Structure 1
Amino acid sequence: MYTHQKKVITQGQPLTETRKALVMVHGRGATAESILSLANNLPVADFTLFAPQATNHSWYPYSFMAPAAHNQPALDSALAVLDEVIKKIQEQGIRSEQIYLLGFSQGACLASEYATRHAQPYGGLLLFTGGLIGQQLDNTNYQGNFNNTPVLITTGDPDPHVPVSRVNETERIMEEMGAAVTKKIYKGRPHTILPQEINLARQIFTKGTIFE
């Protein structure tokens, strides 16, 4: 088991100029650089981008559906990395409404888990093929109120890593905590991000919501 070294790649203009942050969380086996490339397809030229890098290219060793204890201490360390990134952004006077979180696969699971443990009115959550972490979800972990934060959560049906049932559970919990969730389940979709998903994500940046 392992804990994470603190390594974050920043891209774009300084936060003091943009006043808007997009935190991008890569998936298992991937890199901060790879998730940053996704920004080329999003209207975020006026954002400062932050992409933490997981030690060993994995945020936690086992499936996100495994008992949470099996993924420790890596999971708590990964959540602490995200917490440090968010807090450093906020220390520069950036309101939570100007902070967006995006993740793919394992990164989407980590982003959803962090955001729901620290629910507040974010600019948006873009959760491409992910959901809350644990064999059984423990509602006592989740605190705060999303206050109409727009959330996009997706998966394939079936997906080899993220079952539809967990996406549905995640949607329910986030909605109970005040999020405005758009859920998309794509029949037969491979473990990837479709252009349709990118188009929905773009709406969160440009319109603050999703019009289908």
Structure 2
Amino acid sequence: MMTSNPHLNTEPLQHGVDDLVHAPLVIYAVHGRGQQPQFMAEVADRIGMNGAGYVLPRAESASWYPESFLKPLAENEPSLSHALDAVDTHLSRLAAQGVPPERTVLLGFSQGACLLAEYLLRSGRCYAGAALLTGGYLGPDEKSWATGPGAFDGMPVLLTTSARDTWVPLARVHATTESFVELGASVRLHVDDDPEHHINDDVVSHIRRLFDTITTRR
């Protein structure tokens, strides 16, 4: 059924285990601009966590919003609101199907990481954890958030980037890190010197450690 939100016209793909209700972790994995869900499926295979289930949404026309994430928010509307609504709808459906936030991890790369950072900081909703790879919250200026200072209640959050990335300024990743810390998340920031805009093996190792930390906490 077609909807007014183009990002909801395609159901997310599943990868990994089929039984999400009993999976120890369910990872909602959001691809970047110009990519498809299969990109995140390949990342999942590189992480190699046994028993995990992945839910892979697809952006309409392979883009969650049209402009740079540093542009004024109005220049990315209505696509940005549609994208945030799609994330919220998918996560709400997972919860209704028996996958609670305590077993749900949010994972995003590039534009997907920006989208998830914005979603989490706006909503203040706590999940099992989040991995935001080469991304930060949206808009041209640094900003504060209306959610309370303890909203994330120790939620483990991994942010990774490269000091040489040409798409995502390091200053915005630092500002995003500070926002998560201020809202009560337990944050690990990894910055390397990789000249490529991609997910390197070192970052995959950090993701694996995050997932191990989450499963140990549970």
What TM-score, normalized by structure 2, do the two folds share? 0.88
Please give the residue correspondences for 1:193-212 in structure 2 after superposition, counting only pairs within 5 Å: 193-208=199-214
Aligned residue for 2:166? 160
Aligned residue for 1:174? 180
Aligned residue for 2:59? 54
- Contact 1:100–1:125 at 8 Å: present in 2 too? yes
Instruction: Measure the CA separation in 2 of the matches of 1:19 and 1:197.
Output: 22
Instruction: Measure the CA separation in 2 of the matches of 1:46 and 1:163.
Output: 35
- Which deviates the most, 104-113 or 88-97? 88-97
Aligned residue for 1:107? 112
- Contact 1:155–1:163 at 8 Å: present in 2 too? no
Aligned residue for 1:9? 13
Q: In the alignment, is residue 41 of structure 1 matched against residue 46 of structure 2? A: yes
> What CA deviation, in whole Å up to 9, does each residue of 1:82-141 have, x standing for no partner?
101110111123331211011111011111111222223321111110011111244346
SS across alignment from 2:120: helix
> What CA deviation, in whole Å up to 9, does each residue of 1:153-199 have, x standing for no partner?
11111211100000010011100001111111212431111211111
- Which deviates the most, 55-64 or 35-44? 35-44
Instruction: Measure the CA separation in 2 of the matches of 1:188 and 1:16.
Output: 37
SS across alignment from 2:188: strand
- Which deviates the most, 173-182 or 43-52? 43-52
Aligned residue for 2:78? 73
Instruction: Measure the CA separation in 1 of the matches of 2:27 and 2:82.
Output: 21
SS across alignment from 1:53: coil
Cα RMSD after superposing both structures: 1.9
Equivalent of 2:92 in 77, 83, 87: 87
- Contact 1:152–1:183 at 8 Å: present in 2 too? yes
- Contact 1:152–1:201 at 8 Å: present in 2 too? yes
1:64 Cα offset (Å): 0.4
Instruction: Measure the CA separation in 1 of the matches of 2:115 and 2:194.
Output: 24
- Contact 1:21–1:89 at 8 Å: present in 2 too? no
What TM-score, normalized by structure 1, do the two folds share? 0.91
1:3 Cα offset (Å): 4.6
1:72 Cα offset (Å): 0.3
Q: Any unmatched runs of 5+ in structure 1? A: none
SS across alignment from 1:146: coil
Q: How many residues align?
A: 208
Instruction: Measure the CA separation in 2 of the matches of 1:164 and 1:74.
Output: 25
Q: Any unmatched runs of 5+ in structure 2? A: none
Amino acid at match of 1:73: P
Instruction: Measure the CA separation in 1 of the matches of 2:165 and 2:199.
Output: 12
Equivalent of 1:183 in 185, 189, 209: 189
Instruction: Measure the CA separation in 2 of the matches of 1:166 and 1:5.
Output: 26
Instruction: Measure the CA separation in 2 of the matches of 1:87 and 1:9.
Output: 16
